[in-house]
Amino acid sequence: MVVGDFPIETDTIVVGAGPGGYVAAIRAAQLGQKVTIIEKANLGGVCLNVGCIPSKALITAGHRIEHAKHSEDMGITVDNVKVDFTKVQEWKAGVVNKLTGGVEGLLKGNKVDIVKGEAYFVDQNTLRVMDENSAQTYTFKNVIIATGSRPVEIPGFKFSERVINSTGALALKEIPKKLVVIGGGYIGTELGTAYANFGTEVTIVEAADDILAGFEKQMTSIVKRELKKKGNVTVHTKAMAKGVEETKDGVKVTFEVGGKEETVEADYVLVTVGRRPNTDELGLEQLGIEMTDRGLIKIDKQCRTNVNNVYAIGDIVEGPPLAHKASYEAKIAAEAISGEPSEIDYLGIPAVCFTDPELASVGYTEAQAKEDGIEIKAAKFPFAANGRALSLNSTDGFLKLITRKEDGVIIGAQIAGSGASDIISELSLAIESGMTAEDVALTIHAHPTLGEITMEAAEVALGTPIHML
Extract the annotated binding site for FAD.
56, 147-149, 315
3-state secondary structure 104-152: HHHHHHCCCEEEECEEEEEECCEEEEECCCCEEEEEEEEEEECCCEEEC
Helix (H) or strand (E) holding 103: helix 85-109
75: how many CB neighbours lie within 10 A of its CB? 6
User: Closest Cα partner for 116 from 98, 99, 102, 132?
Assistant: 132
Query: Rounded to whole angstroms, how far apart are CA atoms 213 and 203?
Result: 18
In angstroms, the CA 166 to CA 160 distance is 12
Radius of gyration of the chain (CA): 24
> Quick one: which H or E segment has residue 93?
helix 85-109
Distance CA 208, CA 404 (A): 31
- Binding region: 56, 147-149, 183-190, 206, 274, 315
The residues that bridge with 39 in the sheet, in sequence order, are 116
Q: Are 377 and 409 spatial neighbours (Cβ–Cβ below 8 Å)?
A: no
236 is catalytic: no
Distances (CA, A) of 327 to 146, 247, 320, 330, 338: 10, 42, 13, 5, 17
Which of 67, 236, 447, 467 is catalytic? The answer is 447
Annotated binding-site members for NAD(+): 183-190, 206, 274
Q: Is 205 exposed, middle or buried (0-12, 13-18, 19+ CB in 10 A)?
A: buried
Q: What sign has the CA pseudo-torsion 91, 204, 413, 420? A: positive
- Report which of 39, 63, 3 is spatially closest to residue 114, judged by C-alpha positions: 39
Q: Long-range contacts for 373-378 (Cβ within 8 Å, ≥24 apart)?
A: 374/404, 374/411, 375/404, 375/405, 375/406, 376/402, 376/403, 376/404, 376/405, 376/411, 377/402, 377/403, 377/404, 377/405, 377/461, 378/402
Q: Are 367 and 382 in contact (CB under 8 A)?
A: no
Q: Which residues pair with 264 in a beta bridge?
A: 253
The Cβ of residue 115 has, within 10 Å, a number of other Cβ atoms equal to: 20
Interhelix angle 21-30/85-109, nearest 10 degrees: 30
Cβ-proximal residues to 433 (8 Å cutoff; 6+ apart), any chain? none
What lies within 8 Å, CB to CB, of 434 at 6+ separation is 409
Instruction: Indicate which residues carry an active-site annotation.
Output: 447
